[in-house]
Amino acid sequence: MLQPELDKIVYFQSEEPRVYESAHPKSLLHSIVEDGKALDSLKNQHVYSSDQFDRNTILQLLRLAAKYEANPERFSAPLQGKILISAFYEPSTRTRLSFESAWHRLGGNIMSITDRSTTGIAKGESLSDVAEMFNSYGDCVVLRDSNDSSVKEMMDALRIPIINAGNGLDEHPTQALADLYTIFKWRPDLIQTKPENPIKLCIIGMPSRMRTVRSLLKLISVFPNAFETVTIVANEVEEKIFDQGQKEQLLNVGLNIEVTGGFSNAIKSADVIYINAIAWEGNTFKEYGADYKLSASSPLKAQAIVLHPLARGEELCTSLDDTSHNWYFSQARGAVFLRQALLTCLLHRTDRVLDII
């Protein structure tokens, strides 16, 4: 029998990074007491903005996400017989594939549209007419559209839930939930009403131009005591960094907001560094903060973690990938479980996965 030449065989390393270990979700899971009623409140809600979630609902969603992550093989059928309409009219690696992975892991089926020109929209069909069709064809819609108003235009005609998977410059609420899930897995003590050791969060990005940053700021506003300071690093004047009223909303909930162009000082003292450089504007992307770059030689605190919604550019050097600062891959991975949790609630299937019903 012919033997393959040994130098033609390529092995891969199957061992997962330590940051993926189940200790993190288990620790968060055990920090939150189950309250299924809070999840019931998500029934018949569209998911449009981070604004719509209260503290208890967020914590219960994160708890369910942690339960899925801690026991990935345990629940395979809560969405059996349900159909997801996955409509992405703007490029996406993580959001589309993690939603679809989440749905598959829950036992459902998927119809995917990745090009609006293959639908009646190309013939001038209105979004509300498309939404009316979606009512008959599926059980849930996930939509990414570079047009801010598309989700709202479909919402009124839908009798099934729609999830905003990124609408122009406006919002990306499930990304923000995944970001918060990562922070609380790293430090479950931060969910306490008054944490003993609140953290310094450094955000390198533009709250007015980046939907991920906008949605994250709204969610952390629900947990103001978890953050000693929130430092926004951007090399623009404040009028450009924030939309009108945006900073005031953050101050009003008690967040201690600092704004600086001083990148090195800001990252030196931060516990969590959230960096993003890309904003999708119109039909293309624009980069901000080209001078701000993180690498393994950046002066970070030993315990600091780095988050990034990805896709990355030069702002996030691959030299950080093999360091303990890298929580951005865990952030993207955790989004699958977070989306599993949200989908289970929106599809009224929590009775199949809760401990107490």
Q: Does residue 330 touch ligand CP according to CB under 6 A?
A: no
CB of 262: closest distance to ligand CP in angstroms?
Answer: 27
DSSP string over 235-288: SS-HHHHS-TTHHHHHHHTT--EEEES-HHHHHHH-SEEEE--EEEETTEEEE-
Residue 175 found at the interface with ligand CP (CB under 6 A): yes
Binding track, positions 40-79, relative to ligand CP; x by CB under 6 A: ----------------------------------------
Stretch that binds ligand CP, among 30-38, 91-99, 195-203, 230-238 (CB under 6 A): 91-99
Query: With CB under 6 A as the contact rule, which of the stretches 88-96, 103-111, 194-202, 290-298 interacts with ligand CP?
Result: 88-96
Spell out the residues 6+ positions from residue 258 whose beta carbon is closer than 8 angstroms to its own.
Answer: 229, 230, 231, 232
Which of 57, 95, 150, 350 binds ligand CP (CB under 6 A)? It is 95
**CB-wise, 296 or 310, nearer to ligand CP?**
310
Radius of gyration in angstroms for the set of CA atoms belonging to the chain, rounded to a whole number: 21
Rounded to an integer, what is the distance from CA 327 to the centroid of its chain? 13
Determine if 93 is a binding residue for ligand CP (CB under 6 A): yes
CB of 81 to ligand CP, least distance (A): 27
Binding-site size for ligand CP (CB under 6 A) equals: 10
Choosing from 57, 86, 92, 330, the residue that interacts with ligand CP (CB under 6 A) is: 92
Specify whether the CB–CB gap between 205 and 276 falls below 8 A: yes
Q: Which residues bind ligand CP (CB under 6 A)?
A: 92-95, 166, 172, 175, 309-311
